[in-house]
């Protein structure tokens, strides 16, 4: 999965909350005395802590403000926003689920021309976001992307302080966390000498249970880490991966100026240096070229690499022309390496006299117009897997996912190890697990290129989550199309599962979604005639607050809070019409050319309402919703399977896929059978 075209960081913004708390204070505030030299082992003397008046979305907001202040672009020039934080702790005691963070930031900053969705891939989140943006830039679908993360994670530290019993506790790593926000703007590099030179990510899902973040019984969040085993496999696999990437790029070991690894602990960084030197059989890494940024930052999760970059730019350690190896590791286990050559970004960021009010912006940039490229790269659905309602017994999201994915593979011509990209697009999951990516967990359950392999086995899978309510599944199909078009993969599996988190404790407060799962496998069409062609995503941010869900830990019994406008379905129908009209114009079609419509499977009543709004006969609409509950993120898979198995579509037919969700967001796509 290598990039073919250089992408450059045009601007970088980092925000650190003002409060600094020492490791001595962290240990002193533990309920039980912890006899462990945490500062010496971790190398962390202090870290920044938010949570007074700033939370995850605030850290993202402040990082974006700084990034835009240093950029030549305005919000209207941005074509894509990807939010990548693990933590969704956006207010005191509240963890956001819908709408997604990127949609909220789109509204606030006026990113009027941007697609927006969130992804989750533990501490590899920002690099996964960059990787996705690179594909969109490579294919010419966009010009510029904003990738942002706001990690308020020290609430985990505060919960752990009350529960850790000894230095052998698997929650000890919770005491090493720090808070930060980071944002960057990406665009195509003007030359081949600067920007990202090589980029490779892969997921070893067999190790996904070595680090898990989820709430405890009382609603406080904790991170359970098998530090010994996670560090061992991450160091060994990550070091080998970095060396292979360096060699594949033709870089000599002495050619780079800086190695930046995920900033977890001083002991881990030292172990990785030793392992790289051992594999190279010479002293390649040393204290001078390996950046250790832990002393006053701690582990800031997905933002750690870019916090380190900003710190070392501002202290004059990183300069124009410097070559950097970014070594990526995250629970999941996702590992990766990217090589980067700086242009004059360090000097531009150090120009402290440049301010938001005085700097000269360039004239507005032309945004991409999809209608200029009507023949889109096409990917087709190779197989689908759903779950017959009568076979669903245990309502556990991971069990449901495994069943749907296994059913899909059973109907496929591909083996599990042939799947190069695995994306989970569900929202509501068992135990509210936020780390690792649910896709990584599933890759482990399926044994999908799941562990370090023997030489000669080159199978690789990249797994991550897209987090965007009811349109996340269609976002995932679009991302898969872009990755295949960019030459980064040839196969993808999209999966989703939903459960009712309140079903056991608050049966009167349900989402109204069907507890099920689905999966489909996508492949490129060799003749570029069949499958998905154009996608379109519209955002009606004026209706952002019509559908809100969040995990509420402030009450005595934590639960999912659901706020839904009673007129929401009517609003959905109103928002769908202009999106469909715009997509059809892009494709050069009108509604009479559409043979079958695949609407959101909310209910038969909603589908009837939509048929009236579009002024089309009900017979043109696939309906597997009945009286509900809403099939939500599995709507597309269930309706596609129903249409094919019942002969409702035939070769040569044109289908219109429609998804809708909080935001209000509408996604639609044309599918050629």
pLDDT per position as a tens digit, 642-673: 999 999 999 999 999 999 999 999 999 999 99
Does pLDDT of 368 surpass 60?
no
Q: State the pLDDT confidence band at 48, using cuts at 50, 70 and 90.
A: very high
Per-residue pLDDT, 554: 82
- The whole-number average pLDDT for the span 348-365 is 60
Cα–Cα dist 616/45, whole Å: 66
Cα–Cα dist 421/461, whole Å: 5
Asked if 289 and 259 count as a contact pair (C-beta separation under 8 A), the reply is yes
Domain assignments of the chain as residue spans, ordered by start? 7-349, 376-672
240-261 as b/e: b if 16+ CB within 10 A: bbbbebbeebebeeeebbbbbb
Q: Between the CA atoms of 490, 493, 494 and 496, what dihedral angle is there, to the nearest 10 degrees?
A: -170
Q: What are phi and psi of 662, to 5 degrees?
A: -55, 145
* DSSP string covering 230-260: HHHHHHHHHHHHHHHHHHHHT--TTS-SEEE
- The whole-number average pLDDT for the span 238-258 is 90
Cα–Cα dist 143/549, whole Å: 33
- The whole-number average pLDDT for the span 497-501 is 96
Q: Look at residues 582, 585, 639, 580 and name the one whose alpha carbon lies nearest to residue 613.
A: 580
Per-residue pLDDT, 271: 94
List Cα–Cα distances, 57 to 70, 255, 300, 513, in angstroms.
20, 38, 15, 27
Q: What's the alpha-carbon Rg for the chain, to the nearest Å?
A: 24
Q: Look at residues 4, 257, 316 and name the one whose alpha carbon lies nearest to residue 131.
A: 4
Cα–Cα dist 556/554, whole Å: 7
- The whole-number average pLDDT for the span 186-200 is 92
Q: Between the CA atoms of 353, 366, 485 and 201, what dihedral angle is there, to the nearest 10 degrees?
A: 10
Q: Look at residues 555, 549, 436, 418 and name the one whose alpha carbon lies nearest to residue 490.
A: 418
Cα–Cα dist 511/514, whole Å: 9
Per-residue pLDDT, 585: 94
Per-residue pLDDT, 355: 47
This prediction's pTM: 0.95
- Residue 144 β-bridge partners: 187
Q: State the pLDDT confidence band at 627, using cuts at 50, 70 and 90.
A: confident
Give me the percent of the chain exceeding a pLDDT of 70. Answer: 95
- Residue 496 β-bridge partners: 518
Does pLDDT of 37 surpass 70?
yes
Q: Between the CA atoms of 602, 607, 608 and 614, what dihedral angle is there, to the nearest 10 degrees?
A: 140
pLDDT per position as a tens digit, 537-556: 999 988 999 999 999 988 77
Q: Look at residues 345, 637, 439, 635 and name the one whose alpha carbon lies nearest to residue 519.
A: 637
Asked if 449 and 417 count as a contact pair (C-beta separation under 8 A), the reply is yes
Low-confidence winner among 44-53, 152-161, 242-251 (lowest mean pLDDT): 242-251
Per-chain mean pLDDT for the chain: 93
Q: State the pLDDT confidence band at 353, using cuts at 50, 70 and 90.
A: very low
Does residue 391 or residue 330 have the better pLDDT?
330
Per-residue pLDDT, 515: 95
Does pLDDT of 460 surpass 60?
yes
Strands 323-330 and 258-261: parallel
The topology under which CATH files domain 7-349 is Peroxisomal Thiolase; Chain A, domain 1 (3.40.47)
Where is 438: in which H helix or E strand? Answer: helix 438-445
- CATH hierarchy code of domain 376-672: 3.40.47.10
197-208 as b/e: b if 16+ CB within 10 A: bbbbbbbbbbbb
Tell me, yes or no, if the two domains 7-349 and 376-672 fold the same way: yes
Q: Look at residues 251, 213, 259, 204 and name the one whose alpha carbon lies nearest to residue 232.
A: 204
pLDDT per position as a tens digit, 104-130: 999 999 999 999 999 999 999 999 999
Per-residue pLDDT, 538: 94
């Amino acid at each position: 999965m290598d990039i073919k075209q250089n992408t450059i960081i045009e601007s970088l913004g980092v925000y650190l909350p003002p409060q600094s708390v020492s490791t001595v204070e962290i240990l002193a505030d533990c309920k039980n005395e912890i006899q462990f030299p945490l500062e010496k082992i971790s190398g962390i003397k202090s870290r920044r802590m938010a949570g007074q008046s700033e939370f995850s979305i605030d850290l993202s907001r402040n990082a974006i403000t700084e990034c835009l202040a240093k950029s030549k672009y305005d919000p209207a020039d941005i074509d894509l926003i990807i939010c990548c934080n693990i933590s969704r702790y956006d207010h005191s005691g509240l963890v956001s689920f819908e709408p997604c963070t990127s949609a909220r930031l789109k509204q606030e900053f006026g990113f009027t021309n941007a697609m927006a969705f969130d992804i989750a891939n533990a501490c590899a989140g920002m690099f996964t976001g960059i990787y996705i943006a690179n594909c969109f830039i490579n294919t010419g679908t966009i010009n510029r992307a904003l990738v942002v993360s706001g990690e308020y994670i020290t609430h985990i530290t505060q919960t752990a302080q009350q529960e850790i019993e000894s230095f052998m506790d698997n929650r000890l790593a919770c005491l090493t966390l720090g808070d930060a926000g980071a944002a960057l703007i990406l665009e195509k590099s003007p030359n081949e000498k600067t920007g990202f030179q090589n980029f490779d990510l892969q997921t070893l899902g067999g190790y996904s249970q070595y680090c898990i973040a989820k709430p405890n019984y009382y609603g406080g969040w904790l991170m359970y880490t098998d530090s010994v085993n996670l560090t061992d496999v991450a160091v060994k696999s990550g070091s080998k991966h970095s060396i292979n990437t360096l060699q594949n790029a033709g870089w000599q070991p002495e050619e780079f100026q800086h190695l930046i690894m995920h900033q977890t602990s001083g002991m881990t960084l030292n172990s990785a240096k030793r392992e790289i030197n051992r594999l190279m059989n010479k002293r390649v890494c040393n204290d001078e070229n390996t950046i250790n940024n832990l002393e006053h930052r701690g582990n800031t999760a997905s933002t750690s690499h870019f916090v380190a970059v900003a710190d070392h730019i501002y202290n004059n350690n990183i300069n124009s022309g410097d070559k950097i190896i970014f070594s990526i590791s995250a629970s999941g286990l996702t590992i990766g390496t990217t090589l980067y050559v700086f242009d004059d970004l360090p000097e531009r960021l150090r120009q402290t006299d440049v301010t938001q009010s005085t700097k000269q912006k360039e004239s507005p940039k032309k945004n991409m117009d999809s209608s200029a490229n009507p023949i889109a790269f096409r990917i087709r659905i190779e197989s689908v897997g759903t779950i017959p309602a009568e076979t669903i017994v245990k309502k556990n999201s991971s069990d449901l996912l495994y069943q749907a994915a296994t059913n899909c593979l059973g109907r496929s011509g591909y083996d599990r190890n042939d799947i190069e990209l695995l994306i989970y697009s569900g929202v509501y999951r068992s135990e509210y697990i936020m780390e690792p990516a649910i896709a990584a967990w599933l890759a482990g359950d399926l044994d999908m290129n799941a562990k370090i392999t023997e030489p000669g086995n080159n199978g690789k899978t990249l797994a991550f989550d897209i987090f965007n309510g009811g349109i996340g599944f269609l976002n995932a199909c679009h991302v898969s199309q872009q990755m295949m078009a960019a030459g980064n993969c040839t196969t993808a599996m999209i999966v989703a599962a939903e459960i009712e988190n309140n079903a056991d404790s608050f049966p009167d407060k349900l989402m109204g979604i069907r507890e099920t799962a689905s999966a489909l496998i996508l492949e490129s069409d060799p003749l570029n005639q069949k499958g998905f062609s154009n996608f379109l995503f519209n955002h009606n941010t004026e209706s952002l607050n019509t559908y809100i869900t969040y995990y509420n830990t402030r009450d005595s019994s934590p639960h999912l809070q659901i706020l839904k406008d009673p007129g929401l379905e009517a609003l959905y129908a109103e928002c769908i019409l202009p999106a469909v009209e715009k997509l059809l114009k892009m494709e050069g079609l009108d509604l009479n050319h559409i043979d079958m419509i695949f609407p959101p499977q909310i209910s038969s009543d909603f589908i009837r309402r939509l048929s009236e709004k579009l002024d089309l006969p009900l017979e043109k609409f696939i309906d597997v919703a009945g009286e509900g509950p809403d099939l939500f993120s599995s709507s597309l898979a269930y309706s596609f399977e129903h249409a094919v198995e019942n002969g409702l579509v035939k070769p040569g037919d044109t289908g219109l896929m429609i998804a809708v969700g909080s935001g209000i967001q509408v996604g639609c796509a044309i599918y050629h059978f």
